[in-house]
Chain A
Amino acid sequence: MTRHSDSRLRSTVIRVEFVALLAALALFLSTVEYLIPKPVPFMRIGLANLPLIIGLGLLHEREYLLLALLKILGQGLVTGTIFSYIILFSFGGTVSSAFIMFLLYRYGRRYVSLVGISIAGAMASNITQLQLSRVILFGDAARFIAPPFLMVGFATSIVLGLFAERFVSRSSWYAEHAQQEHLA
């Protein structure tokens, strides 16, 4: 996949509409996920992370950061958790996940596909959330929810990564916007 990334064309303009749209997509997907019946209520597929994965190829770093922020705030407002402990988990998880995914995409694109990026992002997010829950909520007992939590996140991130790869190759909307100048 050839990219024409001339540093002179590095854009610092934040395409506000674009980022807001992706952020809105994240909210939408989290409600979709909410409505999917699950055998175990704690199983979070992380559909809402899809825009964060897709956005890797569409946004430059400032926009990407903004996307992550909007996703966190948006989810907090929609679920009404914005002023509780839970927002901290969302914040920690999303930030660490976005950070790792962005770095991997920027520097490791040759070695990792979106699947690997998705897995890495999910692991980073879940480990961060586990550590936070250890400090805030459970204490050392957090190690008991660690294995199932990590396993479910691992499995679902693979599915999500595969989905993202497919989307990127098939979506015309994506193709249209990926041609615009971006930095990644």
Chain B
Amino acid sequence: MKQIRLGDIAIFIVSIAIIAFSLGRFTDFSGEPQVHVRTDGGEFIYDLGVDAFATFNGPVGETSIEIKDGKVHVHDSDCRNKVCISAGWVSRVGDWIICLPNNVFVLIEGAVAQETGGVDDTAF
């Protein structure tokens, strides 16, 4: 073999480490929390971590949600009571908001395991 030197081996090892790291990230399919919105028109999905604004049509008009800073709330709705708006912001997996008159159901889905602790705080 041509002169293989110490530095070559060092670089070789570091590179292998980098590749192994990239493989690790490859399988890291962490269930990032998603906002699922079910309406008459179908089901819509959004990433909770990405700021967004979306409007949906229902029997009584339009309902819009806003996703900001990892939280979601009903921004505006054509329903009479506006209960859905007063529900405010939600951000945890499992939280939901519903606008019954307009048939819009907002739910945060995802892997519960990434919550700190992983076990229900309210278990006791």
Contacts and interface: CB of A to CB of B under 8 A. Distances in A.
Q: A contacts B directly in the complex (CB < 8 Å)? A: yes
A104 B11 CA distance: 11
A146 B15 contact: no
Nearest to A115: B8
A184 B66 CA distance: 58
Interface residues of B, number: 20
Interface in B1-23: 2-12, 15-16, 18-19, 22-23
B11 A146 contact: no
Nearest to A119: B11
Interface in A103-135: 104, 108, 110-113, 115-116, 119-120, 123, 127
A177 interface: no
B25 interface: yes
A154 B4 CA distance: 16
B2 A115 contact: yes
B25 A143 contact: yes
B124 interface: no
B33 to A, nearest CB: 15
A123 B5 CA distance: 18
A67 to B, nearest CB: 22
28 contacts: A108-B7, A111-B5, A111-B7, A112-B8, A112-B11, A113-B2, A113-B3, A113-B7, A113-B8, A115-B2, A116-B8, A116-B9, A116-B10, A116-B11, A119-B8, A119-B15, A143-B22, A144-B26, A146-B22, A147-B23, A147-B26, A150-B18, A150-B22, A151-B19, A154-B15, A154-B19, A162-B2, A169-B2
Interface of B: 2-12, 15-16, 18-19, 22-23, 25-26, 28
